[in-house]
Amino acid sequence: MNTNSNTYTVVYSTILVMVVAAVLAFAASSLKSRQDDNVKAETISKIITAAGLYEDGCDAKTVYSQNLVEAFLVDAAGEPVGKLAEGEVKVTSDLKAENDNIKAGKSVKLPVYKFNVNNEVITVLPCYGAGLWGPIWGYVALKPDMNTIAGVVFDHKGETPGLGAKIATEPWFREQFAGKQIAKNGEVVAVSIIKGGAPKGDINAVDAISGATITSQALDATLKIWLGQYKEYIAKCAQPAGEDCCEDECECETSENQED
Amino acid sequence: MDANMKETLLKPIFKGNPITVLVLGICSSLAVTVQLQGALVMALSVIIVTGLSSFVVSLLRNTIPNRIRIIVQLVVVAMMVILVDQVLKAFAYSVSKTLSVYIGLIITNCIVMGRIEAFALGNKPIPSLLDGLANGAGYGLILVVVAFVRELLGSGTIFGLRVIPQFIYDAGYVNNGLMILPPMALILLGCVIWIQRSIQKDLQEK
Amino acid sequence: MEYLSLFVKSIFVDNMIFAYFLGMCSYLAVSKNVKTANGLGVAVIFVLLVTLPINYLLNKYLLQPGALAWLGDKYAALDLSFLSYIVFIAVIAAIVQVVEMVVEKFAPALYSSLGIFLPLIAVNCAILGGSLFMQERAFANVGESAVYALGSGIGWYLAIVALAAIREKTAYSNVPAPLKGLGITFITVGLMGIAFMTFMGIKL
């Protein structure tokens, strides 16, 4: 057969492309559910890490479902707009979609996770934004007063190794958030990440990672935007009883006293 | 035939090592040698991709139209790499995250294309498979050696387990942070070549 | 300002060679003298600049999850991202061929200086790496991806010309025999990488 003729070349490449596409489509679709499970499992372990429930070697899914009080969605006005099904979490791609909605000024459905940790209700809120090279995201866990931070966890897609990537890997960076407050004079201001070191005793600020200026600024802005989106919900939760937003968590009622 | 097979299998491991002798495939991979685990997975992926791509191209070798030869080879290699990538994402998610784009870059790893052009196009499928596997292994060996040194000296761990005992740190030892940085991979590779060429004098240049 | 910062960072801080080892094969093979290094460097800049924006558009409107939404709601749920490697490499190989033919036809002088390097570039990791990093880093628009392509290309160009200049000198040095050639080149590249790391703290 003449393997150099035009017809042969065209037919050959068509068949090749079809075979390759079929093999890949089959592989991708048969492995898809497993891959999604992995993404979900990772998200769950991040969430429970922020809540302070994660221990080395624990089964993240079990810990998550055992300690979860409830998981639901709220809109920008702080009204609940839907529940998350058993074991369902909003993964990074969902957060990206919501972030696009925030930027476009559209209505949002933001996830809220509430855990029972040592008889306290800890609320975990996500955040998502653009870093230097790619997306950065994270979870902020709030104590029952909805003001004091219990823990945080951050992750990123492609920040510079050794610089911006440290937001995910450096324990000191994460740990300095614990005990900080997201509100100042009753307004949600999030936590500022300050280059060259936060002023001593500033309850609303932490130190930035030296050398990682843009990533730090991006994380700072991300926290402000996302916690800003939750501010109505946070305010409602921080109010005395009678509001239905907190549903069955009486812990929220005590927050007024703790705030001042 | 048997002696031939043995030669095909053993030569690329040391005497004709693709990295240190043929200078192929340095591209995509030195960045993954900070930790042994990543390096090992990368090495296995490359072994599988070179082996299977050589095998498939060798099966097709008499049918491939010459004009689109390179593209056909790239498509076969890319298919193998995507399969490996999908499997890793499904079964070893955390490793696939640390390897990120470097798995995809196996496509342009010169070893794969180099072995296809140099061997698989002119040989039967089984020897091509062996040649691919062996070259992947020779490549993996260097990767693992470099990763071993970098992880041991840079983080004091092997596979993430601490091996340098605490009392040595107490006596004033510190991990060598330089080892973690990318340029050290190149310098270590230079040292590997130095050692190999001191033993095998016929490989020395000039 | 954003563009300038991205540009400088992609040249110096995230240099294709020194930070990510991309395009090492041709980098080592073609850096024996400055003149050929120059030719290959220019060709890499050129091909990066052409392929990256194209791959960006393909990624945005064809490959990434939900990218097919412009075809109608029915297609919005499709996720073709598993095809991205094969699409990217096919685009690169095709563009390299087209560029080669166009340059040959319309700029014969350029072709005679670049020509022999163009086919090599299809399998240069720096080109595919550029596209994969572009996908991972989710640039906001085509402009950013083009600036990133230009910056990375220039970074690669600087690296290869600098190495070629050094190798022209070390050819006359008294290097231990087992290190001659390849060995000392690796070590030189490593030391250059350490020098480039001084740009890490760069503020813009």
Residue C201 has pLDDT above 80, yes or no: no
Task: Name chain A contacts of B89, Cβ cutoff 8 Å.
Answer: 31, 35, 38
- Amino acid C204: pLDDT: 55
CA distance C88 to chain B (A): 10
Average pLDDT, chain C: 84
Alpha-carbon gap, residue C42 to C37, rounded angstroms = 9
* Pairwise CB contact (< 8 Å): C180 & B205: yes
Q: Given C9, C137, C203, which is nearest A134 (Cβ)?
A: C137
Q: What is the mean pLDDT of residues C102-122?
A: 74
* Pairwise CB contact (< 8 Å): A163 & C200: yes
CA distance C179 to chain B (A): 5
Q: Given B68, B87, B89, which is nearest A9 (Cβ)?
A: B68
Q: pLDDT tens digits for B126-158?
A: 999 999 999 999 888 888 999 999 889 888 888
Burial state string for C108-146 with b = 16 or more CB within 10 A and e = fewer than 16: eeebebbeebbebbbbbbbbbbbbbbbbbbbbeeeebbb
Q: pLDDT tens digits for B81-110?
A: 999 999 998 888 888 887 877 888 888 887
Task: Name chain A contacts of B180, Cβ cutoff 8 Å.
Answer: 162
Q: What is the mean pLDDT of residues C129-133?
A: 88
Question: Residue C1 carries which DSSP code?
Answer: -
The residues in C 59-88 lying below 8 A from A, measured between CB atoms, are 65, 82-83, 86
- Amino acid C114: pLDDT: 65
Alpha-carbon gap, residue B99 to B162, rounded angstroms = 22
| Contact with chain A for residue C194, Cβ under 8 A | no
Q: Which one of B86, B88, B94, B121 makes the best mutation probe of the A interface by having the most chain A beta carbons within 10 Å?
A: B86
Helix (H, G, I), strand (E, B) or coil at C80: coil
Residue C112 has pLDDT above 80, yes or no: no
Tokens 């994380």 correspond to A219
Q: What is the mean pLDDT of residues B75-81?
A: 91
- Amino acid C56: pLDDT: 92
Render each residue's pLDDT in chain A as its tens digit; 260 residues.
677 788 888 898 889 889 998 999 898 888 888 888 888 888 998 898 888 888 777 788 888 888 888 888 988 888 888 888 877 888 888 888 888 888 888 888 899 999 988 888 899 999 998 887 778 999 999 988 888 999 999 998 877 666 777 888 888 888 889 888 888 887 888 888 888 788 887 888 888 887 777 888 889 999 999 998 888 888 887 754 444 444 444 444 444 444 44
| Contact with chain B for residue A210, Cβ under 8 A | no
Q: Which one of A31, A43, A45, A56 makes the best mutation probe of the B interface by having the most chain B beta carbons within 10 Å?
A: A31
Residue B27 has pLDDT above 70, yes or no: no
Report the range of poorest mean pLDDT among A216-220, B32-36, B134-138, C117-121: C117-121
Task: Name chain A contacts of C136, Cβ cutoff 8 Å.
Answer: 133-134, 157-158
CB proximity list for C67: less than 8 A, separation 6 or greater: C59, C60, C61, C78, C80
CA distance B50 to chain C (A): 15
What residue type is assigned to position A112 of the chain? V
Question: Do residues C52 and C130 make contact, with C-beta atoms less than 8 angstroms apart?
Answer: yes
- Amino acid B29: pLDDT: 64
C15 → chain A, closest CA residue: A160
Task: Name chain A contacts of C133, Cβ cutoff 8 Å.
Answer: 133, 158
* Pairwise CB contact (< 8 Å): A35 & B87: no
Q: Given A20, A130, A160, which is nearest C13 (Cβ)?
A: A160
Structure tokens at C173: 């040095």
CB proximity list for C6: less than 8 A, separation 6 or greater: C144, C147, C148, C151
CA distance B192 to chain A (A): 25
- Amino acid B206: pLDDT: 64
Give ipTM to 2 decimals: 0.81
Q: Residue C158 phi/psi, 5° resolution?
A: -55, -45
The pLDDT-based confidence of C80 (bands split at 50, 70, 90) is confident
CA distance C29 to chain A (A): 28
Alpha-carbon gap, residue B32 to A209, rounded angstroms = 24
The DSSP bridge pattern shows strands A149-156 and A68-74 to be: unpaired
| Contact with chain C for residue B68, Cβ under 8 A | no
* Pairwise CB contact (< 8 Å): B83 & A24: yes
Which percentage of chain C shows pLDDT scores above 70? Answer: 95
CA distance B206 to chain A (A): 39
- Amino acid A250: pLDDT: 43
Highest mean pLDDT among A93-102, B48-57, C25-34: B48-57
The CA–CA distances, whole Å, from B57 to A60, B52, B69 equal 44, 9, 10
The pLDDT-based confidence of C48 (bands split at 50, 70, 90) is very high
- Amino acid B28: pLDDT: 60
C-alpha radius of gyration, chain A, whole number: 22
Alpha-carbon gap, residue A72 to A70, rounded angstroms = 7
Q: Which one of B33, B93, B121, B180 makes the best mutation probe of the A interface by having the most chain A beta carbons within 10 Å?
A: B93
DSSP letters, chain A, are --TTSHHHHHHHHHHHHHHHHHHHHHHHHHHHHHHHHHHHHHHHHHHHHHHT---TT--HHHHHHHHEEEEEEE-TTS-EEEEPPTT----HHHHHHHHHHHHHT----EEEEEEEETTEEEEEEEEEEE-SSSEEEEEEEE-TTSSBEEEEEEEESSPPTTTTTHHHH-HHHHHTTTT-BSEETTEE---EEETT-PPTT-TTEEEPPTT-HHHHHHHHHHHHHHHHHTHHHHHHHTSPTT-STTTT-GGGGGHHHHH-
* Pairwise CB contact (< 8 Å): A3 & B90: no
- Amino acid A161: pLDDT: 66
Task: Name chain A contacts of C138, Cβ cutoff 8 Å.
Answer: 130, 134-135, 157
* pTM exceeds cut of 0.90: no
DSSP letters, chain B, are -HHHHHHHHHGGGTTT-TTTTT--S-TTTGGG-SSHHHHHHHHHHHHHHHHHHHHHHHHHTTTS-GGGHHHHHHHHHHHHHHHHHHHHHHH-HHHHHHHTHHHHGGGG-HHHHHHHHHTGGGS-HHHHHHHHHHHHHHHHHHHHHHHHHHHHHHHSEETTEE-S-HHHHHTT----GGGGSHHHHHHHHHHHHHHHHHH-GGG---
Q: How many CA atoms lie within 13 A of B63 on its CB side?
A: 13
* Pairwise CB contact (< 8 Å): B90 & A34: yes
Task: Name chain A contacts of B67, Cβ cutoff 8 Å.
Answer: 4, 9
